[in-house]
Amino acid sequence: MDKELCGCRVIHQDKVDSARIKELDPDEIEELSQLFKAFADGSRLRILQALAIQEMCVCDLAALLEISESAVSHQLRFLRNLKLVANRREGTILYYRLRDQHVTALLAVALEHLREGQPAIV
């Protein structure tokens, strides 16, 4: 049922209505924001960018980022849960890799945005 808009002013009801119709559902918003959180941290970003080049194991990533292996492992679990990375075992070593090309696609678009930085009039 309709919740009353508890004192919220609305100037353009038509815009609010049309926006509401096209809104993503709450579950999708939650999943989306979780996905973007993966890229919203320097350590995870560097891990993803490194894995975009080649598969790597936990301790190599730790050496690259100069943070503890535990920290890397925690972040890899985060990325694993989001299905962004996967691993394969070789003896005691786990090699991590990106699961699909979406990671590199997202990074590419984001870098493109950044590099338009100072718009000299587009």
Partner DNA sequence: TTGCTATATGAGTATCTGTTCATATATTCA
Partner DNA sequence: TGAATATATGAACAGATACTCATATAGCAA
Distance CA 48, CA 39 (A): 8
Distance CA 31, CA 9 (A): 30
Residue 119's contacts (CB-CB under 8 Å, 6 or more residues apart) are none
What is the nearest approach in angstroms of DNA to the Cβ of residue 117? 20
C-alpha to C-alpha distances, 45 to 48, 50, 56, 86, 114, nearest whole angstrom: 5, 9, 15, 16, 15
Site string for its own copies, 17-56 (x = CB under 8 A): -xxx-xxx---xxxxxx-xxx-xxxx--xx--xx--xx-x
What is the nearest approach in angstroms of DNA to the Cβ of residue 111? 20
Size of the site for its own copies (CB under 8 A): 61
Q: Which residues in this chain contact DNA in the complex, by CB under 7 A?
A: 2, 9, 11, 37, 40-43, 57-59, 67-71, 73-78, 87, 89, 91-94
Helical spans, DSSP H, in the chain? 13-22, 26-39, 42-53, 58-65, 69-81, 102-115
Closer residue to DNA in complex, CB, 87/104: 87
Q: State the sign of the Cα–Cα–Cα–Cα dihedral 75, 110, 31, 85.
A: negative
Which positions lie near its own copies, rule CB under 8 A?
3, 5-6, 8-12, 15-16, 18-20, 22-24, 28-33, 35-37, 39-42, 45-46, 49-50, 53-54, 56-57, 59-60, 62-64, 66, 69, 83, 93, 100, 102, 105-107, 109-114, 116-117, 119, 122
